[in-house]
Amino acid sequence: MRNDDYHVSVLLNTSVEGLVVDPSGTYVDVTFGGGGHSRKILEMLDDQGRLFGFDQDADAAKNALDDPRFQFIASNFSYLTNFLKVNGVKEIDGLIADLGVSSFQFDEESRGFSIRSNARLDMRMNQSQDLDAFKVVNSYDEEDLYRIFREYGEVKTLRKLVEAILKRRTENKIETTGELVDLLSGIAPRGKENRFYAQVFQAIRIEVNDEMQVLRSLLEQSAKMIKPGGRLVVISYHSLEDRLVKNFIKKGKFQGEVEKDFFGKEIKPFKEVIRKPIVPNAEEMEGNTRSRSAKLRIAEKLEWETNS
């Protein structure tokens, strides 16, 4: 598999140029995938620079780069701090995250991410974990189904959706993505079928991979690991992700208003490098349709006490 077949990197030049502030620094690509962003980062580093690439997907490990400055870590990025410290790294100059599902994961039918395939309900980014989409759809109780479709899919027709799943699975287990889409086709809003399918699949995928909690953990760890003047670069693909990233950068927290000290100074780890998110231009969106929902945010680490 060629690296560019695995995943077409979104906002490649803009994101990496916003990341690398010191060619001799230490950087982390927490969503290595096909290695597109990592290869670009290495082009901008000198002989003293270092790059760590994280990815929990065994298929991504096959793309590991042959460069003495690079080290691949086969792990979910929620374990960022622990793995960096094991490798003698106490602070970094920058971190980049290209969130969501890779092109390879979408296109590989057996992974069960796409509404266009007819594969077993899976959706695991880490295929060694126990929880998968089949278990979510067929074993979650009514309350949990309401929770995930409301919070992670922002689905409007909640009652119809949950009742349809509960009814169908009492007759037969919902085994495949095709069977799930067939069920959804009977309750999807007319003219908005594909959007509805995408919302449902997104909610299940986020639950399977615990994506929101993992992202919260990453952002909190980044505040402790990135040195003052270093950069946090995040590309998100839906409003739930972007809202977490935006709030953490702007306010240092995921909800509520920014805290201030006695003198009125804001207490937060980052400041925005760009005030509004950067989105792909028309040429990139035409060449890579999956980039259309992408939003890039870049932040700089402030002088901030992280060890208290």
State the pLDDT at residue 57: 85
Amino acid at 144: D
Does 294 lie in the same domain as 258? yes
pTM, two decimals, is: 0.91
Does 138 lie in the same domain as 62? no
Helix %, strand %, coil % for the chain, to 5? Answer: 45, 15, 40
CATH label of the domain that carries residue 200? 1.10.150.170
> Using one digit for the tens of pLDDT, what is the confidence trace for 104-148?
666 677 787 788 888 999 999 888 899 999 999 999 999 999 999
State the pLDDT at residue 9: 83
pLDDT beneath 70, residues of the chain: 1-7, 102-107, 304-308
Domain boundary among 152, 179, 209: 209
Does 92 lie in the same domain as 35? yes
Q: Are 89 and 76 in contact (CB under 8 A)?
A: no
State the pLDDT at residue 306: 45
Amino acid at 14: T
Domain boundary among 209, 227, 253: 209
For residue 308, tell me if it sits in a domain. Answer: no
Residue 9 φ/ψ, nearest 5 degrees: -65, 135
**233 CB-near residues (< 8 Å, 6+ apart):** 15, 16, 18, 19, 94, 95, 96, 97, 296, 297, 298, 299
What's 168's DSSP letter?
H
Does 223 lie in the same domain as 96? yes
Domain span at 185: 109-209
DSSP, residue by residue, 49-89: -EEEEE---HHHHTT----TTEEEE-S-GGGHHHHHHHTT-
CATH label of the domain that carries residue 245? 3.40.50.150
Does 216 lie in the same domain as 186? no
Name the residue among 58, 74, 72 with its Cα closest to residue 125: 58
Does 128 lie in the same domain as 246? no
Does 99 lie in the same domain as 113? no
For residue 144, tell me if it sits in a domain. Answer: yes
Does 120 lie in the same domain as 265? no
For residue 306, tell me if it sits in a domain. Answer: no
Does 281 lie in the same domain as 204? no
Does 134 lie in the same domain as 15? no
Residue 149 φ/ψ, nearest 5 degrees: -75, -30
Does 274 lie in the same domain as 186? no
For residue 225, tell me if it sits in a domain. Answer: yes
State the pLDDT at residue 6: 54
Number of domains in the chain: 2
